[in-house]
Structure formats: structure tokens, C-alpha cells
Amino acid sequence: MEQELKGQVIIVTGGASGIGREACLALAGKGADLVVADFNEEGAKAVAEEVRALGVKAEAFKVDVSKAEQVEALVDFAVTTFGTLSGMFNNAGVSKVQSLLEMEPASYLKVIEVDQHSVYYGLHYGARAMVKLGVKGVFVNTASIYGSVAARGSFNYNAAKSAVIAMTRSGALELAEFGIRVAAVAPGFIETPMMGQLDETARAALASQHVTHRLIQPEKVASVVAFLFTDAASAINGSTVAVDDGFLAFKV
């Protein structure tokens, strides 16, 4: 396998499971050394072990991405441990289906803090480190199809993911002068552990909104994420790439 990212050091948040875990494996497959960051410390350690088995370096780091000081500490850890920082996959996220009328401020803010504010923290502290180090790095953010269309019961998630798309554009514009690139992915309905909590009827209803009527496997998103970190994707800047099996193209 071509080692396009050999010598690169990339932080992956939400790296213990789902898209994050698969992204760690895909990035490691391209030669990148990783910091596997997650609130689930044991899960992060397990993924770091999987990554090291692929012949690269990896360290786990427990983080609550909704806390600015913890994301700053995460970035500092990566630089102190590996001597540099080449990229960051701002992937960690949460969601909870709840109507707007039922949604109390605490529920609204929980999703906003994890899904939206964490992306700002990653861009802010990660870019500061890259500029200080003179690194022309790459950020990839996890948005969603729900950053472009509304969904019932997802008022806070819609708001957060729309913001991620906007921050991707704005971040790319502001960081371009430093040679830092910012892109995002917008996954459709992904076969993750969270999806396993739904019954077959609910799963089928979501899958039916894809062109192939199948849920998307997380490794399909991870392969796009890994590509976005490579030089081959250098012309993708400020854009959000839909990995949605046609959902956005045919939704309306």
C-alpha cells in the first residue's frame, strides 16, 4: 500500500469507534502516525493498538472535546509526543432525537458543544500549533447530510452540522495564507454502533433514502477522509464532500 502520509502526525477525535476508528486504520494504512482521541479511553487505547499493528506509531488520549482546555491539551500532547502536527480529523460528535418543543437548553447545548464548538477548538488550537511549527497542515471536519437539509427531531444537530460546513469554508479562507487546508465530509446514514440501537424497521427506513437502499459502511467514509489528507486532494479546500450514496442529490 502506498505510504502517501508517511511521516505525518494526525489527531483523530472520536477515534474509538465508527467512522473515527475506520479513519484511524485508513490513515495508518497510508503511513500516518496517530493520536487516537476519545472520551472512551479504553476504546481509544484498543484502536491505538490496532494502528500500531499496522507498523506506525499511535498514542491514545482521553478528551472531552466540548472543553476548550482539553482540546488544547490534546494538541499539546501530539506536538510534545511526536514533535509536530500535520493534520486533525475533527470527527467526534453526538446526537439525540428530540423535538424542538421538548428540547431544553441543556439538551440543545450538549450537541452544540460537542458537534460544533469542538470543531472550532480543533481548528483554533491545531492551526496555532501548525503556524508556530511552520507546518502546512490539513484539517478534515465531520459535517453531515443534516448540515444541508432539515430533519425532524434534530434541531440542535442540524444547527451544529450546518455550522461545521460554514466553519470549514471560513477556516479554509483564513488559514490559506499559512498553507493550511480545511475540508469536510458529510456522511449519510452510516452503519455504526449507534445505528445498532435502532430496530430493523427504522434502519430500513433510513437505508431506503440512499440510492442503493443500503446503509453506508464506515470504512467508505474513512477512505474519503484519508484521501482528503493527501497531496492528491490539494485542490479540495473549503469544500464539504458528501459521502451519502446520492441522498443530497436526490432528496429534493
In degrees, to the nearest 5, what angle opens at C-alpha 240 toward C-alphas 68 and 73? 20
β-pairing, 58-62 vs 9-13, is: unpaired
For the chain, the first-to-last Cα distance in angstroms comes to 40
Pick the catalytic residue: 121, 125, 146, 157?
157
Cβ contacts of 58-62, under 8 Å, gap ≥ 24: 58/24, 58/28, 58/33, 58/34, 59/34, 59/35, 60/35, 60/36, 61/35, 61/36, 61/37, 62/37, 62/38
Query: Could you confirm whether 121 is annotated as catalytic?
Result: no
Positions marked active-site: 157
